[in-house]
Amino acid sequence: MEFSEYFPVWDKLTPAQQERLSQGAILRRAKKGAVLHSGTMDCLGLLLVREGQLRAYIYSESGREITIYRLFERDICLFSASCILQSIQFDITVEAEKDSQFWVIPPALYKSIMEQSAPLANYTNQIMASRFTDVMWLVEQIMWKSLDQRLAAFLLEESRLEDSQILKLTHEKIANHMGTAREVVTRMLRYFQDEGVVSLSRGAVTILDSEKLLKMQDS
């Protein structure tokens, strides 16, 4: 499928703008685990996901990771082109959670078209608002939800994304998503196992009782 079928406001651009985007966007591939962008890198450009799954996360002062959002097919990552976002400093890391294909749109190209196109500027603002909503939701979860509630919600979300009750995740990977220590996750998962909600095996967590997990999330 072509770039035009994935770009969200393609039909609202002029033919000349469409041609510039088509010619400028670069299709790339990344294996699972590859780091595509980090806060220490130069301004990479906007990422438009063709297939796969990307993860955007930040580091705490202590060096722990915490996931702020995921990117799926047709999603755009703006923060990987933070140089076009005036007055915003956001050190974010983006990695491939699955083998992925994505287009990289050069930041100067996107900015020049955005300055000419009201629909593209409006869409960009919508993405910004959505991502900051994700960040604020995360802050609220950390401040007001207990760890067992957050872990239950995370497991349910992973089950929905993978369409499976068997989650191939290490305790360390879960801790990285949640911004906490592996030992804390291990202790909480063992509690869940004692309650008959999950079973644990090497490199995997199997959900046994989704209903009980849902109650833990909302308790």
Give me the tens of pLDDT residue by residue for the chain, a chain 219 residues long: 689 999 989 999 999 999 999 999 999 999 999 999 887 556 889 999 999 999 999 887 778 899 999 999 999 998 888 777 765 666 789 999 999 999 999 999 999 999 999 999 999 999 989 988 988 988 888 889 899 999 999 999 999 999 999 999 999 999 999 999 999 999 999 999 999 999 999 999 999 999 999 999 887
Residue 190 and residue 148: Cα distance in Å, rounded? Answer: 11
pLDDT at 90: 66
Q: Are the beta carbons of 13 and 21 closer than 8 angstroms?
A: yes
Q: What pTM, to 2 d.p., does this model score?
A: 0.85
Q: Looking at this protein, which amino acid is placed at residue 107? A: P
CATH topology of domain 145-218: Arc Repressor Mutant, subunit A (1.10.10)
Q: Are the beta carbons of 95 and 55 closer than 8 angstroms?
A: yes
Q: Are the beta carbons of 53 and 98 closer than 8 angstroms?
A: yes
pLDDT at 200: 96
CATH topology of domain 3-143: Jelly Rolls (2.60.120)
Instruction: Spell out the domain ranges in the chain.
Output: 3-143, 145-218
Tokens of 178: 């949640």
pLDDT at 86: 64
